[in-house]
Amino acid sequence: MNTATQVASTGAARGIGAGCDGNQVDSSRPAVGAARVWLRAMLAVLFCMVCCIEPVRAQGLRGQSDIIKPGYFATFPSLLRGDYRTAERGFEQSLSRGIKTTESRWIDSICYYAMAGEVAYRTGANVEALKHFNAAIRLYERFYNWMLFVEFTPLQADVGVLQTPPWGQSKRAFRLANYPGRFGIERTQLGVAAVDGQAAVTQQTTLWPLHVDELVRCTVLAIRRRHELLGPVSSKDKLTSLVLARTTERAGPVNHWSSAWIDLQQGLAMVAAGRARNGRSFIQRSLVAGGQFDHPLTCVGLLELGKLAFADGNYEGAGELFLEASYSAFYFDNPMIIEEALRHGYLTHVLANKAGPYRPLEQALSWARMKRYRVLEATLAVLAAEHALLTGQRDRVVQKTLARAAKAARRNRIELSRVGAHYNYVKAVFDRSRGNEEDARAALNAAMEFMRRGSKRVLQTAIAHDFHLNQKVRPREALDLYARVLRDPPAVLWRHEPLEAQAMLTFRNYEALGSWYDLAIQLGQDRDDMTRAIEIADQVRRWRFHDTLPERGRQLGLRWVLAAREADLTQAALLQRADLLERYPRLRELGQEAAELARDVEKLPIAPREPTEQLRQRDLLEKMAANGRAQDAVMYDVTLRREPIEMIFPPPLVLDTIREQLGERQAILMFFERDRQWHGFLIMKKQHRHWRLGSVRAMRKALLGLHRSLGNVSPNVQFELNHLEDIDWLEDAEKLTEALMKDSRVSLDQNIDELIVVPDGLLWYAPFELLQVGPQNRRASLSTVVRLRYAPTVALAVGSSRPLRRDRRSAVVLGRILPADDELVVERAADRLLELLPRAEKISERPESPASMLAKTIDALVVLDAVEASDDPYRIVPWQIDEGRAGSRLAEWMSAPLGAPELVVWPGFRTPAENGLKNKLRTRAGDDLFMSICGMMSAGTRSLLISRWRTGGQLAQDLMREYLQELPHLSASDAWQRSVEIARAMPLDPRREPRLRGDRAEDQVTGRHPYFWSGYLLIDNIVPEPPEADGNGRAGAADDEAEDDLDGGPDREELDEERRGFPPLEDS
């Protein structure tokens, strides 16, 4: 029965079945009695490649020895009912019993690896799932030509009567065929037999039964799940490239109906490699076998075509394809594809904003329950519950569908899988909509705990980071990968996979973000372009701020989308506003009510004296507070739903846009700390410069020394008059300048009129005003040469084209900046400020209602009181007279309704700089200022003057008065520079300066010492009002005053002349 053939004809050279079966006994071994004969046989194996080998080919299929073992198929019921522990054990057991060649496992292990990976994928073990899918793909890559050795039989049409799926009828014209459960595949085994009385190595080629469709299904599953898990990283993955290369070889029978399966593999490999357009045509071609018959994997092709249509935004076409995929899967009894297809179909229905229910849900759910497909039942029950919630059905109906979903999910612990995470998400949305925050938070926490390891986006970020660190991709490819995985969650992700979007916000990968920045610095140095690095640094600042807010900034973003001025919103945000107000009419009602209440409050005095007005104000403000709580409750509910929300504040940085808005003689000086390494940047309209700070220790030492020499040794320190004549601070200022600017090749005093400083970390406490610039023989403090202001992010450095309201409603809040302040002196100072501010009133007593609501109706605010810093910046109380009452903290100022004074002056803000940075807060250095400033600006403040340390006294009052007097006519930085120049030349009266010890009024000392004026931060990006012209068409008196020479300060024309003609950046 055996026929001799040459070795090359068996296919062993290709590796198909070569070697010995690791768990089979060779049935062709002859019974030889003598031990020496077997010894000779074993020795003969050594010469097998040069001896004549006697191959043996068995006829027919071995019915009891399937390639894919029966135990594997026996595991599927456990998988379909959600008993994942049992399913995991079953597939792992099949893997342990799989066929092994002399070098590796054989093709049957593709199935075992793929299905073990599917169990891990469904239970959220993404890392393990990827390992299994990779193993399956590697086996496919090794034995990619196995289909060449399958003996296929012709297909015959199925003449049976088709049963229509309970949830709908296909619109496709299709035919089914009878597919054999198994086909024979040639498998070669080595053995020893007696030939002519001598022991010889034989090879036996046998047809073994193989479930070909199952092997292809698992290969396809591994390809598409890898793509799903890897996301944008997939196209850069070497294994993806190898799979594409192998599928392109099309190793299978030529012009045969099985080419449909090869087409599907090749099409999916192309999609995974980033060639979706080419892959689509192959997948489309794979839908029918032999040009006429649907096959067991037609449903997979339809499903993947639906995903491609969905990615293109063709929701109508995608929905039809997903339905067709579910119908095809029904005919071939594939509940896993039915589940996936109907889930995607439902999501497409939701994204397309189609009215009415998604009709297939209920019928498919009843069928799944009848068939006892528990995972499918649970999935559809959860979708039905969410749909009832989204379509606004009554709570009783939603509760009933949720209870049904909970019952299905609790079977076999399905609740611990992806289906369970989705159930918890839907339950959280429902509980939050009913105001049951405790249960909502518990459900959301459970969902996010699953997403901690089950999030595909989190995994993609980690893999992209690994690819860069281990040099698996080129640096520029890594830069682009980082940009894709570390961006804000895109709008479509919130609609399609809200838990993935939540995971992107919740599980920030700061390590990857830092490496992205390092890579951008490295590549930027090569190309002399630091644009990407600057944008990433600003992204870090946004993340830091958002991570301190409810819902990681989502609620703040929604507040801006709904209530900010249209000029401050992007086009996408304006479209979101229209859509949200239409679908959530309660938000529109509350917004209109808040505006009406604010208008009514503004008709009353800020600090009414009449009892009737006091009662009226209290009633209105309490209604405003209730309205704000109602708004926040609705917004809190919306932020959890499938709603894309633009993260408006702080805006994401597009550096080219900022540079377009910069003036010719404006510059941004930015510092950024990354892993204890400091970077400096100077950004101008047409160029920018980057440098690294040399010794961080020297910078810190110089800063501490400067604070000590200025006098910041304790919060309530008093100086002798001779301290004002001390110039030791100049030496420390020079050291700080050296530490910050040594390697910059930048001259801040040349060709720059206005400098906007964006500090980071410890440098928030650095008085940049005192940096020393100019030639060595003519050194000067920076603030005497250029106008200075600050910004928390580069994106906020410029941008607001709207001036302050001319008819501002203003308030001056009284208190004590220093404990020694005299109440009468403070009253007189407030009275002088009231003369400068339009519609200004004085607040000296605790308001009847929370200050946070009253502040929303005020345009300009001056707080002559100490504001204590806190480890939690949002716990600070902007009005100390309001301390201890609900609604007094900054967190309440940031709440709904959106609004805050546009102009705020805080001369009494306290930071660790007051005591020379000796007392540290538990937060990151500088966050007390950074978060407080961002918090005020997020509420609506656009111009903020805030102190690093309190000086108090008459000079501080004069500084505030001069600043507010000039502000209507000059830019904020111009007004502040002029105020400082006047203050520096102004005589000091020690009796009116609590910081000075003694009363020698006859000693002529001025405010030149920087302790009194260098401790303020001006944050502003507002353009000044246009000057009012007199009858002769010339600017008014204020502009004339602005042109006068100032005693004690440099002449502006002289400064301009001195700077004119110098290049902005020095060449090395």
- Interhelix angle 212-230/456-469, rounded to 10 degrees, is 80
Same domain membership, residue 929 and residue 822: yes
In the predicted structure, residue 59 carries a pLDDT above the cut 70: no
Whole-structure pTM value: 0.87
Same domain membership, residue 947 and residue 846: yes
Q: Tell me what pLDDT residue 203 has.
A: 74
- Could you tell me the end-to-end alpha-carbon distance of the chain, in angstroms, rounded to an integer? 89
User: Helices (DSSP H) in 455-530: which residue ranges?
Assistant: 456-469, 475-485, 491-496, 498-506, 510-527
Q: Please, is 697 exposed, middle or buried when counting C-beta atoms within 10 Å of its C-beta (0-12, 13-18, 19+)?
A: exposed
CA dist 554 and 538 (Å) reads 18
In the predicted structure, residue 53 carries a pLDDT above the cut 60: no
Higher pLDDT, 835 or 278: 278
- pLDDT tens per residue across span 372-399: 999 999 999 999 999 999 888 888 988 9
Helix (H, G, I), strand (E, B) or coil at 840: strand
The answer to which of 153-162, 413-422, 458-467 has the lowest mean pLDDT is 153-162
| Two structure tokens written together for 817 | 């900046």
Residue 1027: which pLDDT band, with cuts at 50, 70 and 90? Answer: low
The backbone torsions φ and ψ at residue 1017, rounded to the nearest 5 degrees and listed phi first, read: -110, 125
Same domain membership, residue 1015 and residue 964: yes
Handedness of CA 378, 380, 383, 389 (dihedral sign): negative
Kindly give, in sequence order, each residue whose CB lies less than 8 Å from that of residue 1003, ignoring residues fewer than 6 positions away: 721, 990
Concatenate the DSSP letters of all residues of 735-783 into one string. Answer: HHHHHHHTTS-B-TTSS-SEEEEE--GGGGG--GGG-EES-GGG-EEGG
The backbone torsions φ and ψ at residue 767, rounded to the nearest 5 degrees and listed phi first, read: -75, 90
CA dist 618 and 81 (Å) reads 61
CATH code of residue 836: 3.40.50
- pLDDT tens per residue across span 532-587: 999 999 999 999 999 999 999 999 999 999 999 998 999 999 999 999 999 999 99
Percent of the chain scoring above 70 in pLDDT: 88
CATH code of residue 66: 1.25.40.10
- pLDDT tens per residue across span 427-457: 999 999 988 999 999 999 999 999 999 999 9
- pLDDT tens per residue across span 211-240: 999 999 999 999 999 999 999 999 999 999
Q: Tell me what pLDDT residue 191 has.
A: 66
Concatenate the DSSP letters of all residues of 558-586 into one string. Answer: HHHHHHS-GGGS-HHHHHHHHHHHHH-HH
| Average pLDDT, integer, range 786-811 | 88
Higher pLDDT, 721 or 145: 145
In the predicted structure, residue 47 carries a pLDDT above the cut 80: no
Beginning with the edge strand found earlier in the chain, give each strand of the sheet holding 293-294 in spatial order: 156-157, 175-178, 293-294
User: Domain containing 252: what range?
Assistant: 213-389
Domain assignment present for 864: yes
Domain assignment present for 913: yes
| Average pLDDT, integer, range 987-991 | 85
Closest CA relative to residue 140, chosen from 206, 218, 68: 218
In the predicted structure, residue 1002 carries a pLDDT above the cut 60: no
Residue 651: which pLDDT band, with cuts at 50, 70 and 90? Answer: very high
Q: Tell me what pLDDT residue 449 has.
A: 96
Domain assignment present for 475: no
| Average pLDDT, integer, range 142-163 | 89
Closest CA relative to residue 311, chosen from 191, 198, 231: 231
Q: Tell me what pLDDT residue 353 has.
A: 87
| Average pLDDT, integer, range 1028-1046 | 43
- H/E stretch holding 210: strand 198-210
Same domain membership, residue 1020 and residue 973: yes
Strands (E), 69-182: 150-151, 156-157, 175-178
Q: How many distinct helices (H) and strands (E) make up the chain?
A: 39, 20
CA dist 567 and 648 (Å) reads 12
Closest CA relative to residue 202, chosen from 55, 329, 319: 55
The domain boundary residue, chosen from 358, 389, 420: 389
Helix (H, G, I), strand (E, B) or coil at 195: strand
CA dist 492 and 318 (Å) reads 15
Q: How many domains does the chain have?
A: 4
Closest CA relative to residue 210, chosen from 13, 14, 63: 63
Please name the amino acid found at residue 774: G
Same domain membership, residue 267 and residue 195: no
Same domain membership, residue 278 and residue 342: yes
The backbone torsions φ and ψ at residue 239, rounded to the nearest 5 degrees and listed phi first, read: -65, -35
Kindly give, in sequence order, each residue whose CB lies less than 8 Å from that of residue 177, ignoring residues fewer than 6 positions away: 155, 156, 157, 158, 289, 290, 293, 294, 295
CA dist 226 and 114 (Å) reads 10
Same domain membership, residue 357 and residue 253: yes
| Average pLDDT, integer, range 407-428 | 92
Same domain membership, residue 220 and residue 193: no
Domain assignment present for 909: yes
The domain boundary residue, chosen from 369, 389, 409: 389
The domain boundary residue, chosen from 165, 194, 211: 211
Cα dihedral 18→24→27→29 (10° resolution): 70
Domain assignment present for 175: no
Q: Tell me what pLDDT residue 3 has.
A: 32
Q: Cβ(267)–Cβ(259) under 8 Å? A: no
Residue 909: which pLDDT band, with cuts at 50, 70 and 90? Answer: very high
Which of 9-23, 49-63, 188-202, 846-860 shows the highest mean pLDDT? 846-860
The Cα diameter of the chain in Å comes to 131
CATH code of residue 373: 1.25.40
Q: Cβ(587)–Cβ(627) under 8 Å? A: no
CA dist 755 and 797 (Å) reads 10
Pairing of strands 780-781, 772-773: antiparallel
Concatenate the DSSP letters of all residues of 779-832 into one string. Answer: -EEGGGTSEEEE-SSGGGSS-B-PPPPSS--EEEEE--SSTT--HHHHHHHHHH
The answer to which of 41-45, 623-627, 1057-1061 has the lowest mean pLDDT is 1057-1061
∠ CA 715-719-722, nearest 5°, is: 155
CA dist 551 and 496 (Å) reads 18
In the predicted structure, residue 266 carries a pLDDT above the cut 80: yes
Q: Cβ(839)–Cβ(807) under 8 Å? A: yes
In the predicted structure, residue 97 carries a pLDDT above the cut 70: yes
Domain assignment present for 969: yes
Same domain membership, residue 197 and residue 233: no
Q: Tell me what pLDDT residue 1037 has.
A: 41
In the predicted structure, residue 409 carries a pLDDT above the cut 90: no
Same domain membership, residue 143 and residue 232: no
Kindly give, in sequence order, each residue whose CB lies less than 8 Å from that of residue 39, ignoring residues fewer than 6 positions away: none
Same domain membership, residue 863 and residue 841: yes
In the predicted structure, residue 44 carries a pLDDT above the cut 70: no
Q: Tell me what pLDDT residue 64 has.
A: 47
Domain assignment present for 787: no
Q: What is the mean pLDDT of the chain?
A: 87
Same domain membership, residue 232 and residue 148: no
Domain assignment present for 289: yes
Q: Tell me what pLDDT residue 37 has.
A: 38
